[in-house]
Each structure stands twice: as C-alpha cells, then as structure tokens.
Structure 1
Amino acid sequence: MRILQLNFERGWRGGERQTLLTLQHLQEAGHQVSLLARRGEELARRARAAGLTVIDCASAPAAFGYLLRHGRGFDILHAQTASCMSWLAMLHGWLRGRVVFTRRTAFAVDKQRHEQAVGGPLSTKERRTRWKWRRADQFAAISQAAAAEPRRLGLAVQVIPSAIQPLPPDPDYVAALRSRWNPQGLRVLGTTAALTAEKDPLTLIRAVHVLAQRRQDFVFLHFGAEGSETSAAQELVARLGLESCYVLAGFESRPEQVFRMLDGFVLSSRHEALGSSVLDAFVYGVPVVATMAGGLPELLGQGRGQLCAVGDAQALAQAMESLLDQPDAVRQQAEQARRWALQEHSPATMVQRYLRLYGQLLQARRHKRA
C-alpha cells in the first residue's frame, strides 16, 4: 500500500511520537509510507533522520495544495491530527474511500453544552464537527474516552490504543541528568507534561507543597514545554517557597532517559485521551500516580497504578507519599504494569490494527469498482 500520514503540528509531543512509530512500523511491514509535516519541525526532522520519506511544507495552504495535486496517488491518507482531518474533509469528494482519522483527544466538542448536560438538538459547533468527522472513511480513537464524543454524535469508531517502544538506556546521559537535577541524591518524583491548563500543573505544585510539609527527602522534577500556565506555575512555586523542592526543568529532548532516574511518576491532568507518558513510565518500571481524567483509568486500572480525583492536591500528595513509603509494594505494581504495557501496547500490535482498518477501505473500493 501507498500510505500518507499527515501531522502538521509544531513541537514534539505524544501525537508526533505516535505518528513516527506508526510510520516506522508500517515501513517495516513492507508498505510504502510518506509523511506530510510542517517544515523545520521536530517530527519532520526525526522522520527524515529515520530514513522515511518526508513531504515538508512551509504552510497549511502549501500542504492543502499538495493533497489536491497528489492525494489520489495514495491508497490511504491518514490524518493524525484534527487540523489535518479538516483538510481531508474538504477534499473528501476527491479523495473518497481513502481517508482515515485518529482522534487523540477526549475533549467535549462543545464544552459549555457538555457541562450543562443540555439535551435536544446539537449545537452549531457539534454539527460542524460531526460533518467533518463523517468525512473520515474510517474513524479510530486511541481510547474509549477519546471515542465517547464521536460515538455520541452517531459515528462508528474503532479503538486503537497508542503504542510504546522502550529505548535502550544511555548511562552517561542519565548520569548527567542526575548530576544536573539531583546532585544531593534525594528520592526523585517527577512528571513530563507541558505547562498547559489541561495538564493542571498548579494542582500538582500544591500537592508537592503538601508533601514537602511532611518530609524533605525528595525532589520533584517537572519536565515539559512552556505553555499557558508557565507564569502561574513559576509564581506559585515561588510563593509557596518550593524553589529547592519543585524544579521546573523545561523541555527535555530525550524524555525516555528521564524515567530512569525517577522513583515515581505523577500526572495531574484534567483532560487526557490516553496518557502516553504513563505508558513510558510503565515500560521503564516506574510506579505511577495519576488523576482519573479521560483515558487514564483505562491504563491504571486493575492495580497498575494509583488514581486520584481530578484537582485533588491532598489525594495526590497522599499517593506520592505512599510511593516513597512502600517501595516493595509499588515495585511489584510497576512490574505488573510493565508486562501489561509491553503486551497490549506494542507498536506491532498497533500497526496490525491499522492495517486491518486500511484493508477494509481497500476492499470496499475494489468492491465498488467491480
């Protein structure tokens, strides 16, 4: 098959990593794959370094023009982001029977209407979104939480969870991280989350403040790109006097090495379609505390981690303290989670699921031509 993966996002986050994993394993399976990405961004750079074919465009109009000229030359066009699905929706009459979309968020389409639990006719925003989503010939979501909204709007959705591929350790790099961020040799709790509202860093800072009032044998390292909550997070750390305890370490280009220095991983999200960073923690054997947001209970259920209510700093603090106080129990929990993640979230499993979905489209097109 000739397959085009579309991801035009800036930066390097979970969706971009999943796009690259998908490309690599589709190519290993013998398919001709290409990536349409934003010029100069990390995804395009990493894909090209991995030997993949990259069509990099400087702007959205340039990318749209490429699809208009060359889209029908592909058997499958797979939008990995909502913005790319918008382009394919507009071209659906031209590209019919080729379009796949993966939803990677669990946000309500219309937040106000969702919060008010309003019944009756759909809002304008919901109707527009449904129109766009219906232009996907196959619709996938990375979790049951991500599938909930399209199903509510009447769409058929296949759940294909994200994958995780552990990378080998780099002892020198890990030693440099420890020397920089934990020279005093304390226990290390941490997270890898952008400083954005949906990740709720302010609740996490408050939770660490509660824990720091009880003990001083740990440091909390927060790795993540800047976002809408950066200033508020910096101000709260200073106001609570946590500068030596809560370290805003910024963006880390090799987050997989960070997990090798953690005694516990914490995610305080308010919204999370699945939580690929939790899968990272799992495969590197790090115990996890997370909120019950979106798809996180799907990952941490059956004793694979500790779940807390969204926005509950006290509960997060208590769960973090249990990580520090019960090392044997949480080590067993982490080993259970590691085995589960390697089995259920392997890239090969994810790609085989996508290939079955792609095959359904090819079969439908052949049947229509016959």
Structure 2
Amino acid sequence: MRILHISSEATWRGGEQQIAYLIQESMSRGQAVEVLCKSDSAFQNWCEEQSIPYRTAPFKNSFDLYSAWKLRSYIRDSRIDLIHIHSGKGHGVFALSTLLGVRTPAILSRRVDFPLKNNPWSRWKYGLSQIKHILCVSDAIRALVLEKVSDPERVSTIHSGIDLSRFEHLKPKSLHEQYDIPRNRMLIGNVAALAPHKDYRTFIRTAERCVDSGLPVHFFIIGEGDERSMIESEISRSGLQSHVTMTGFLQDIPAVLAGLDLFLISSETEGLGTSILDAFAAGTPVIATAAGGIPEIVIHEQTGLLCPIKDDQCLAFSVKRLLDDTDLKERLRIGATEHLQQFTKQTVAQQTLAVYEEVLSALPSKTK
C-alpha cells in the first residue's frame, strides 16, 4: 500500500503536526508514504529533514489547475494506491485533478468546525466518487459534515492525538524568572496561533476581570500570527501591559505548559484543540470555552472547566475557582491524565490505517 499525503499549507500549525505524526507512525509500521506539499513550506522542510519522499506544487488556492496537474503526474509516476487529503485547499486541487483523469481513491480529513458551504462547487467536490471516506477530528465536525453528506457510513470521527513521550521527565520552565514576574503571581496562559477564531478579545477581557478583582495573576499569550497588533491594542486599551506577556513563538512547549498554573483557551471555533491535550499531558489544569470539539476532551468538572463561548465572566470565575480550590485542581488533573490515554498519536494512526485498509479492500480488483 502506497499512500500519498497532500499538505497544502505554507506554515506549521496543528494540522501539519497531525500529518507528521501520522506519517511517522505509518512508516514505523512499514507503510510506503509520499507527500505532495506546498513549495517552500514548513512541511517541505520537515520532509527533507526526515528523508520523506516528496514533490511540491504551488497550491495557490483551491482552483489551482497547475497544482492539480502536478498531482496527476505524481500519482502516475509513483503508482499511488490511496491519497489522503488534509485541507480544504488540497481538497479543491484533488477535485480538479479528477477532471484531468485521476481515479485514485482518496480519504479526506476535516479539522475545522464550520458548516460546509451550500454551493455547486462544494456539493460537487464532497460528492466525488473518488472521495471514499471523510475523517473528522471531532464528533462536532462530523455532525456538521452530515448536514450536507447524506451517507453516515462514509463519515467517521478519529480524534487528533499527541506524542506523550514529549512530556516524559518534564522540567517546568521558570517563566517567573525568564520574564521577571513576581513569584506570588499565578501564571495563566494559552498556546495558539494568533488567529481570529482563537478569540483573544475574550481572553483579554477575562484577564481584565481577574486583575480588577485583585487576583494575583499574570497572563501569557504564546504564539504568533496576524492578530498580534489587535491583541497588543486590546492589552493597551485595558491597561494590562504589566499583567499580560506576549512571548511570540517558543520552543519546548511541554516545559512551557508545565510552567503555567492554569491553561486558558477562549476559542470561538475549534476543531478539537490539541493544545488542550498538550496541557493535559503537562499536568496543567484547563479552563476552556465550549467551542466545536472542545467538550469532547474537556468534560466539565471531570477533565477541566467549560464556559460558554465569549463568556469572560464565566472564564474569570473559573480562574478564581481553581486558584482557590486545590482539591478541584488535583481532581481535574487526574481526570485529564486518564482521559488523555484515548488521544495518542499511536491510536490515531491505528484507527486511520484501519480506514485505509477498509477502503482499499472494498474496491473492485481492477482499481486496486
């Protein structure tokens, strides 16, 4: 079985990490894997470092006919048995490749929790006979897909997973010392791309409520992205310059997470939220909004605390509650550690490879 993974994005975010985990686990099981990725992308660099066979294409947009032609050429040259598409842009390029004669079966992963569009292009590409199965990273996404895809047997959930070995023998990073923060302040942070759907306005409003109520807290925004200027303006507007630190991109995230007292995520949409799984693995209690697939990992008062989307009052109350109740923090930490065992990269690979086998075994012999 020779699998071609399509990675169409320029940067490295959660989706790219999941593809990398899947490729590594597949290769460790003896599977032949190749990649078509965006030219000059982070994923191209990773393929080179890992000696993964790959080719590149521009992936300018979902209607990039040249990338579709490059995909067709790759399939013909490498005798690909199955294609795994990992993004909407890749899905569009694959759809165009079918107009160029590609008949190779494909698996589509969907990681975003917004409804499928109800236009001819969307209906056509999701209805392609070559798309044999759609893998969703949460039940919330699966429910949205099933609003437009009528066959429930064609759509299933495989939750994202993480590499638990990264969290063994952790030495928490001393963030108080590194950023000159008074030792009596509890550290609360999020690790995420600075993107609109992460809703950092709600994060800042939560920080403002906590500071105004006299809680000894300091907040960390860890990551980079297009929303940086907006977030900086919100921090300044709220007068929180001495209470919120924007670190930019950091290495050694497991140690950073272990250095936090609480993990706070305020997303308004979220496929699943693998940064929450990382926080679980680091032993950091989690407070989250109930966006997308988050309630499938943050079970209220069992593995973390949940609040409605955009409810900064609830989030601030939850911060105070955990700072005051060490027994609750410990119960959540234990519950999160137990729940986390379902979300490993090994489990994801095992379940995904089973879908590959099922799809290929169901094909007529002449198309295998």
Cα distance in 1 between the residues matched to 2:361 and 2:98 = 18
Q: Does 1:87 align with 2:72?
A: no
2:279 aligned to which of 278, 281, 299:
281
| 2:305 alignment counterpart | 306
Q: How does 1:69-88 map to 2 (within 5 A)?
A: 69-72=73-76, 73-88=79-94
TM-score by length of 2: 0.89
Shift of 1:365: 2.5
Shift of 1:46: 2.6
2:123 aligned to which of 111, 118, 130:
130
Unaligned runs of 5+ in 2: none
Shift of 1:232: 2.4
Shift of 1:39: 3.0
| 1:143 alignment counterpart | 138
Q: How does 1:38-187 map to 2 (within 5 A)?
A: 38-58=38-58, 60=60, 63-72=67-76, 73-92=79-98, 94-110=101-117, 123=118, 125=119, 127-135=120-128, 136-153=131-148, 154-155=150-151, 156-166=154-164, 167-168=166-167, 174-175=173-174, 177-185=175-183, 186-187=185-186
8 Å CA contact 1:79–1:85 kept in 2: the answer is yes
Q: Does 1:24 align with 2:31?
A: no
Cα distance per residue 1:267-325 (max 9 Å; x no partner)? 10111111111111111111111111111111112611111011111111111112222
8 Å CA contact 1:142–1:162 kept in 2: the answer is yes
1:243 aligned to which of 221, 241, 244:
241
CA distance 1:254–1:53, shift in 2 (3 Å) = farther
Shift of 1:197: 1.9
Cα distance in 2 between the residues matched to 1:193 and 1:217 = 24
| 1:116 alignment counterpart | none
Instruction: State the SS of the aligned residue for 1:208.
Output: helix
Shift of 1:2: 0.8
CA distance 1:355–1:332, shift in 2 (3 Å) = same
Give me the identity figure in percent: 28
Instruction: State the SS of the aligned residue for 1:207.
Output: helix
Instruction: State the SS of the aligned residue for 1:189.
Output: strand
Unaligned runs of 5+ in 1: 111-122
| 1:36 alignment counterpart | 36
Q: How does 1:258-273 map to 2 (within 5 A)?
A: 258-273=256-271
8 Å CA contact 1:96–1:137 kept in 2: the answer is no
**How large is the Cα RMSD of the aligned pairs?**
2.2
Cα distance in 2 between the residues matched to 1:51 and 1:172 = 31
Shift of 1:233: 1.6
| 2:13 alignment counterpart | 13
Larger mean Cα displacement after TM superposition, 248-257 or 211-220: 248-257
Cα distance in 2 between the residues matched to 1:327 and 1:38 = 47
8 Å CA contact 1:6–1:36 kept in 2: the answer is yes
8 Å CA contact 1:170–1:257 kept in 2: the answer is no
Q: Does 1:358 align with 2:362?
A: no
Cα distance in 1 between the residues matched to 2:212 and 2:367 = 70
TM-score by length of 1: 0.89
Instruction: State the SS of the aligned residue for 1:4.
Output: strand
Instruction: State the SS of the aligned residue for 2:146.
Output: helix
Cα distance in 1 between the residues matched to 2:347 and 2:294 = 20
8 Å CA contact 2:188–2:219 kept in 1: the answer is yes
Shift of 1:183: 4.1
| 1:119 alignment counterpart | none
Equivalent AA in structure 1 for residue 11 of structure 2 = G
Q: How many aligned residue pairs are there?
A: 353
Cα distance in 1 between the residues matched to 2:263 and 2:192 = 11
Cα distance in 1 between the residues matched to 2:284 and 2:127 = 40
Larger mean Cα displacement after TM superposition, 330-339 or 47-56: 47-56
Cα distance in 2 between the residues matched to 1:179 and 1:220 = 15
CA distance 1:320–1:47, shift in 2 (3 Å) = farther
